[in-house]
Every structure is written in C-alpha cells, then in structure tokens.
A and B are shown apart, each in its own frame.
Chain A
Amino acid sequence: MSAVQEVVTEAPAVEAVPKRAMTLGYGTSLAMLLVLILVPLFVKNFIIFQLTMLLIYALAVLALNILTGGSGQFSLGQSAFYAVGAYTSAILMEHADINYALTLPIAGIVCFAFGFLFGQPALRLSGVYLALATFALATAMPQLLKLGVFEKWTGGVQGLVVTKPDAPFGLPMSQDMWLYYFTLAVSVAIYIFSVNLLKSRSGRAFMAIRDNEIAASAMGIDVALYKTLAFGVSAGITGVAGGLGAIAVQFVAPDGYTITLAISLFLGMVVGGVGWLPGSIVGSAFIIFVPNIAEGISKGLSGAVFGVLLFLVIFLVPHGARQIAVAAQQLLGKFKKN
C-alpha cells in the first residue's frame, strides 16, 4: 500500500497545488455536465430514476468528503443528517403544504444547525472516538423517529408517503425527468459552492486543521469554530440530499435511514477518493450499482460478492477514483510529450 501511496503522492500535479487536487479542470467539468444533461433524453424512466438517486447519493458523499477530506474529521453518522433532511422535507410537504423546492433550503438549514450543535461536543473527540460518537447518532436516529411523541408528524414506523412533483410551467417531460434536472441543478449549485468553499479562506482553514491542528491554531485559526463549521456544512448538504431523496423515493420511514446507509456513504467516499470532490459521483455509482451487480452474480452470496469487489477496489486502487484519474492524466501527459 505504501508503494502505491508514494506513486500517487509523487505526482506533481496533485501535490503542488492541493486546492486544485480537489476539483477537475473546467473542460472536464463541462464535458461531465454535458453528459449528465444529455443522458436522460435517451434512456427509460427507470434509468432516469436511478440517475437521480446517483446524484442524490453523490451529494451526500460530497458532504462527507468536505468533512473528512476537507477538515479531517470522521463521521459514521451521516445517515442521521440524511434522515433529518428527508423528514423535514416530507413533513413540510405533506403537513404544511409547502412547495417541494422551498423545503430543501429549510432541510439544509435545519441540518446545518443540527450538525453545528452536534459538532460542539464532538470537538473534544478525534479520530476513531469521533467516528464512534457519530456512529451512536446513526444507530439512535431510526429509533428516535419511531418515538410516539413525534408520531403525529413522522407517521411512526409506517412512515410518510410524499407526493411527487409534476414538471412546472406545463413542460412536456415526465415527473422523473423533471426531478432529475431539478436534482442536477441543485447538485451543480452545491458542487460549485463546495469547490469555492474549499478554495476560500475557510477551506484553507479546514485543510490546515486536517494537516496539523496545533500548527493551524498557531497560525491563528479558530480550530473549534472551523471544526464545528465543517460539521455544520457537511450536515446541511447531507440534509438537502436527504430532502431530495425523500421526494425522489416518495416515501420516508425509519428503516430507510439505518447505519447501513451511513456506512454506504462512507464507502462511497473511500471508493471515490478521500478529499477529491468529483470522486463523489463515482463513489455514489459504486454504492448504487455494485450491489445490483453482486446480486446478479449470486443471489445467496450477494454480500460476499460485494465484499470481494470492494476488497479488490481497496487493494488495487486504495485512493479510489482519484488514483485512476491521476493515472489517466499522467498517461495523457506522456502521449502529449511523445
């Protein structure tokens, strides 16, 4: 593993400007966006739905990436923020009749506050201890959602059914396609926000903390503030993803937001490449499609097949999609020289 790590870190394109290492060039980004815009025109509604879920999970992975890749804090509790976002959107839509688009910023703000507050006690913890504290949050959340006190709003174990929005202004597209473009717009906005955040003063502060907390505080960075801020931002984005998820799936129930979801998101981040934002979509594709492939190979042993595939990825490309991208870039560079 260390040999591979050296190869990757030796690549000057990555090391020299760490900020840029977190994003893609303009050309590649635009090409990617173009693909995402065009694909739905040629596929069935079901595939469009899967692509929507791909974007939604990519957002959640991105949020975790900001937290872990950006500020160096671990979280296994993302499913809890996702659930809060999903329930906020669902409850506002079904009980308060608020437009679905407006529920998303509210879900984001609620989750930001929740994440920021959770970040306070989490400040005292680091590394595996922080991961465990967030793990507790993830295991507690489904049970909290079932509590009788909230049942009037949450629907208890039965969950809540959410109405799917139609395309506005009489646009001639199916609900699925509209929702896909809506999600794409939200995702692009959040992606641009995240990239700029990491390039900004705050982003530099996150990374300074990640690299060395003591050195960061010696440079005058308010470590406590920026650590909780990272938690808040991450939770907020996860909340928006959760809200979108609720609208796309049209249903929220406690069983949808178990610890398995949190681990899936963590997995997506690692597979996509920790700290490499564009990798989020690759990680998301991994957690959505690979279980289906594994099931196709063997129904009874789908878990084992998934494990083997995951093991192969971690063993062969420990830095995930980022490593592949870097390798491709180097290969391209060689071609250009020749």
Chain B
Amino acid sequence: MRSKQRTLIAAFATAILACAATSGSALAQKKYDTGATDTEIKIGNIMPYSGPASAYGVIGKTEAAYFNKINAEGGINGRKINFVSYDDGYSPPKAVEQARKLVESDEVLLIFNALGTPSNSAIQKYLNAKKVPQLFVATGAAKWNDPKDFPWTMGWQPSYQTEARIYAKFLIKEKPDAKIGVLYQNDDFGKDYIKGLKDQLGAKVSMIIAEESYETSEPTIDNHIVKLKASGADVFLSITTPKFAAQAIKKLAEIEWKPLHIVSNVSTSVGGVIQPAGFENAQGILSANYGKDGADPQWNNDPGMKKFFAFLEKYYPEGNRLDGSVVYGYGAAQTMVKVLEMCGDNLTRENIMKQAASLKDFAPDTLLPGIKINTSATDFAPIEQLQMERFKGEKWDLFGDIISGEASN
C-alpha cells in the first residue's frame, strides 16, 4: 500500500517535473507579437471584392481557400491561420480605413497580399510607422523593393521594370541592331516599364528610335501604330493593357507591318487578348512569363500543377483553373505559409520580416520550372526571373533560358 503510494507520488513528481521542464524551455523559445498565439496566427488582407477591379477579388478567395487547406491539414506548427479579408472597392481611403481596422481592431499579425498600387501606397506609410509587415503586395510597381526606406513592405510578383529589363536583355543578345518602336500606356504601369527598358539598355538606349504613348481614355490606338511603322522600327514593343494589346495585334495585321512583336505579360491572356485579335494575327508574338498557365495542357502531368488542381477540386471547387488570378493567389499564399513555417515559434513581426527576407530558392507549385524566389536584407523583390515565350498555334510556347531581371546584371 505504502509502496504503491510512493510510486504514485514519484510518478506524479516526475510528471510535473517533466511538464515544467518542457513548458519552461518552450516558454523560452516562443515569442509572439499581437496576432499570434499558441493556437492561432491572424493574417489581414485587403481586396477589391467590389468596384472596378473586382475581377481580382478571386485572389483573396483563393488565398482563403488555401489557408483552409493548411488548417485542415493541421495548421502551421500546430497554429491555425485566421485569415481576415476586407473589401476596399479599389479605393485608397477605404483601404486606409480597412488597414487600420485590421491592425487596431482585429489586431492581425501582418497584412498579406493587399491588392492594387493606389491602395498599397495609401497604407504603406501607416504600416511602416506601426511596424506591421506589409508582405507580398499584389502589384507590379517597382517601388515596393525599398528596404531602406520601407523595411516593413515587400512585393511578390516581378515588377514591370524587371520584365522590361528582360526584354532589353533579350533584344541586346538576339537582335543587337534592333530599331525599337515602343507603344506605352501613359500611367505608372507604362512608365515603370520604360524606366526598366532604358536602364537596362544603358548606353544602347539609342536602339529605341520611336516612342508613342496613349491614354486609356483613347478609343483606338491606330494612329500611334501607323506612326511607329513610319519610323522604320523593326521591333514593336507593346506595353499595353489587354484591350489595347488586342487592338495593336489587329492593326499590325491590317497595315501589314511585320516587326518582331513583343507584348507585355499583363496582356498575354489567350482568351482575353489573343483570341479576340485573331490567332492568325498573333503567330510569333513574344512575351515573358513566370507562372504556369492553367489552360496549357503541357502542365497536366506536372506535379506542382497536379497539387494545384487537387486543391481546387477539394477546397475551392468554384475556382476557375483558367483564371490567372487563381494561380496567382495559390502561389502567393504558398509563399506566405513558407515564411510562417520558417518563423517557427518566434512569431514576432520583426522575425517575420527577417524570414521573409531570407527566402532561398523557394519554388511555389505554380511558378515555371527553374524560377525561384530569393530575397535578402537588401533585396525585397521575391520573383525576379521570367522565361521568354512565343505564341504558336493556339498557345504560348516557352523557349530559351530563365532570364533574371535583377538590376545588377
């Protein structure tokens, strides 16, 4: 009886000791900021679910579905993700209101993949002053890669400047005597592009022999195309949004101008641009890409895309696999999860930025093979590589090596 009691006590004591020892060491390791606990990580997000850019709202829905998948599979180091996503209707003042609500009322750990250059510009200063990570913003502007002035802000997709540099590198290598005619949209998108192009051409900037800009309010860009043809250019760089890219492809065929035609990545949608312009008019057009296309049969047996399709089937059945935004949201959410995994039990905002800035050769399932995410304390631009592609038949064919668009080389 007595011995039994003693063993019981001994067992109890060891149990308590063991308990104390583990929890003690765990306490020493675990570090949290607002929004993170032993069981939960709270992530904020702002999307235009309504308003002029509501087509992009799909990105937020895909991300929510992806985090659901992660939660269903046990979460990140045992913590479930609580994804709070608000609508800003693509209006900067509303984005500020929502960002403040997320940070001050919902008390999120970070804001992830907020969409739109104007909305992100509006909240950048606030989030940096509050030292809340503004991670993987969903815009192509180059200004997000500025760790010195804005150490709490980081982009994700290749910037327009990066893409423009890649075309410049391609032209210098493949067509050194090119006479380039550029048509660009007169806004931040077009101007970022021109900057990247000229920076990369450097001393060879004289290769650009003609520049034409258009306003989105113009009904047609025909006269610009005719002018560019008259300039004698043999390369036509079309820095255009979908509607104008399609017009350009058509007009070129109409006036029988056959330069080397490069179209910006935002206007490569087969359904949205090429088909309306006519497949026969689009043969041989060049562009660059970084993600796999859900419509392209060559990826049907790709392991990454198989995972993506399985995810869609189980967690987001209403998602359209042909929609580039779905592929985008999946890749961005996967990057976020990777960063949180790397943080381990140290979920402070500072450590999150540190880990986000130490991604090494990370490849989300939906990026082209060979394209990898790399960041460092001085490089806040995660994706900086693209691969050239050529339109053939009714789809894009990738060719050549992965080209890096980093400013240094």
Interface residues of A (CB under 8 A from B): 44-47, 49-50, 53, 143, 146, 148, 156-159, 161, 245, 249-256, 258, 260-261, 291, 295, 299-300, 302-303
Contact = CB atoms under 8 A, between A and B. Distances in A.
21 contacts: A44-B104, A45-B100, A46-B100, A46-B101, A46-B103, A46-B105, A47-B105, A49-B97, A53-B97, A157-B118, A158-B143, A161-B124, A249-B92, A249-B96, A250-B96, A251-B122, A256-B91, A258-B91, A260-B51, A260-B89, A299-B49
Contacts of A159: 92, 118, 121-122
A253 B91 CA distance: 9
A157 B215 CA distance: 12
B152 to A, nearest CB: 15
B230 to A, nearest CB: 24
B92 A251 contact: yes
B92 A256 contact: yes
B93 A245 contact: yes
Interface size class of B (residues with CB under 8 A): 20 to 34
Given A44-B105, A161-B125, A295-B86, A249 B188 contact: no
Contacts of A157: 117-118, 187-188
A295 B87 contact: yes
Q: Is the interface of A mostly helix, strand, loop or mixed?
A: helix
Contacts of A158: 117-118, 121, 141, 143, 188
Interface of B: 49-52, 85-87, 89-93, 96-97, 100-101, 103-105, 117-118, 121-122, 124-126, 141, 143, 186-188, 215, 217
A204 B212 CA distance: 56
Given A143-B215, A249-B122, 15 more contacts: A45-B100, A46-B100, A47-B105, A143-B217, A158-B118, A159-B121, A249-B92, A250-B125, A251-B122, A255-B92, A256-B92, A256-B122, A261-B91, A291-B87, A303-B50
A255 B96 contact: no
Contacts of A47: 105
Given A46-B100, A156-B187, A303-B50, A255 B90 contact: yes
Contacts of B186: 148
A50 B97 contact: yes
A261 B217 CA distance: 20
A28 to B, nearest CB: 29
